Amino acid sequence: MADLDALLDTYAAVILKVGVNLQPGQTLSIGAPGAGVPIETADFVRRVAAQAYASGAGDVLVEWGDPQLQRVRLLSAPESALEDIPEWKVQGTQALADRNAAFLILFAPSPDLMADVPPERVARMQTAAARAFHGFTDAMTKMRYAWSIAAVSTPTWARKVFADLPVEEAVARLWQCIFRGMRVEAPDPVQAWRDHLAQLDARADFMNRSHFARLHYVAPGTALTIDLPERHVWMSAAHAVNAAGTSFVPNTPTEEIFTLPQRDGVNGVLRSTMPLNLNGVMVRNLRLTLERGRIVDFGADEGYEAIKHIIETDDGSHYLGEVALVPVGSPVDFGFPLFNTLFDENASCHVAIGKALPVCLEGGEQMSPEELAAAGANDSLTHIDFMVGSPQLHIDGETASGERVPVFRNGTWANS
């Protein structure tokens, strides 16, 4: 591997130039709203901040978080405290959004951190936070401000992925995976990203021209039909543009094109193909049965209670809100999971339980909640992606006239 410092600087530059696309004079906010950025990432955060200032940032504001302290709070705090989201945090986040700040969420998961925490306490805290920040996240899904999520290699995360390696070697190997997925070692990483986004756009254009009314999924443990709303739009990350007219890439890496399903139009059985790290609890071999869009039965070999509390968040969490197509063999497909949905969902076709993205409907950004519902979009406080792709997955598109067209064969594009 080339000089690590140089690669880290390049990675930071890609995040700033491609991810949030930071503009001169713009404020950069680092940290998930209400949760902050893990203190384990401090060295990289400082590197990003230095580059942001060098590129003309108006200011860089960091909200720190400590997952270990969060675990202590979940285990020991009174239940009332778990639902107490300080209003000043919400108001502060909204004030930054009103100033056209760019929001960077640096993610470094601790996959087993909450394994011994009662899942109902985790769900109570997550639901309270979702309600408190609902206005902010709703604007986020409508792409009204620039935001991006990226990952940082840390000892806690690396030990989970590469359990048989010494910790320093594990951290280095995990950085290699991140650099590969982010195209950091390309001769010109920013141009490599532009070329990649253009390819994703071409895939989205194909699906939009085809305007399928329904998708058919077949794989071991999966036999599912997904109806698509009449006004659905397939998107890639290249389409994200904030209210100021600045393009950005919400998730880095990204290998997907995505749209929304018809809320009441999903039927059949669906099985996950990769582990899901759900708020510090591992969920394995998730199985859903859906009738007229609603999850009517589910199971999991591990993490059942955690997924149960997600599905029971509200009425909308009993339905799906996203369907995404990702071919096997992408630069993020390492042959093993990273236990981080940001990466794992870009190695696999996936769907999401919960909220649909309004941008996946024609004119959805301007629709009221009632108009979105009438157009077929699901709404929920939650949005949880899980992976369903594999080399055994076949997907057909069905037109309004009933013609079936191969879309995926053996886990990749049929027309590639």
HEC-encoded secondary structure of 297-354: EEECCECHHHHHHHHCCCHHHHCEEEEEECCCCCCCCCCCCCCCHHHHHHHCCEEEEE
Euclidean distance between CA atoms 121 and 286, whole angstroms: 21
The predicted pLDDT at position 1 comes to 53
Euclidean distance between CA atoms 382 and 375, whole angstroms: 20
Q: Is there a contact between 67 and 106 (Cβ–Cβ < 8 Å)? A: no
3-state secondary structure of 391: coil
The predicted pLDDT at position 186 comes to 95
Mean pLDDT by runs of 10 across the 416 residues of the chain is 87 97 97 92 98 97 95 95 93 94 94 91 91 91 93 96 96 97 96 96 96 98 98 90 92 96 98 93 96 98 95 96 96 94 95 96 93 97 96 98 97 90
The one-letter amino acid at 77? A
The predicted pLDDT at position 415 comes to 85
Q: Which of 374, 341, 192 lies closest to 274 in space, CA to CA?
A: 341
The predicted pLDDT at position 382 comes to 94
Q: Which of 237, 266, 263 lies closest to 252 in space, CA to CA?
A: 237
How many other CB atoms are there within 10 angstroms of residue 297's CB atom? Answer: 10
The predicted pLDDT at position 2 comes to 63
Q: Which residues of 181-209 are buried (b: 16+ CB within 10 A; e: fewer)?
A: bbbbebeebeebbeebbeebbebbeebee
The predicted pLDDT at position 101 comes to 96
Q: Is there a contact between 331 and 181 (Cβ–Cβ < 8 Å)? A: yes
3-state secondary structure of 269: strand
The predicted pLDDT at position 240 comes to 86
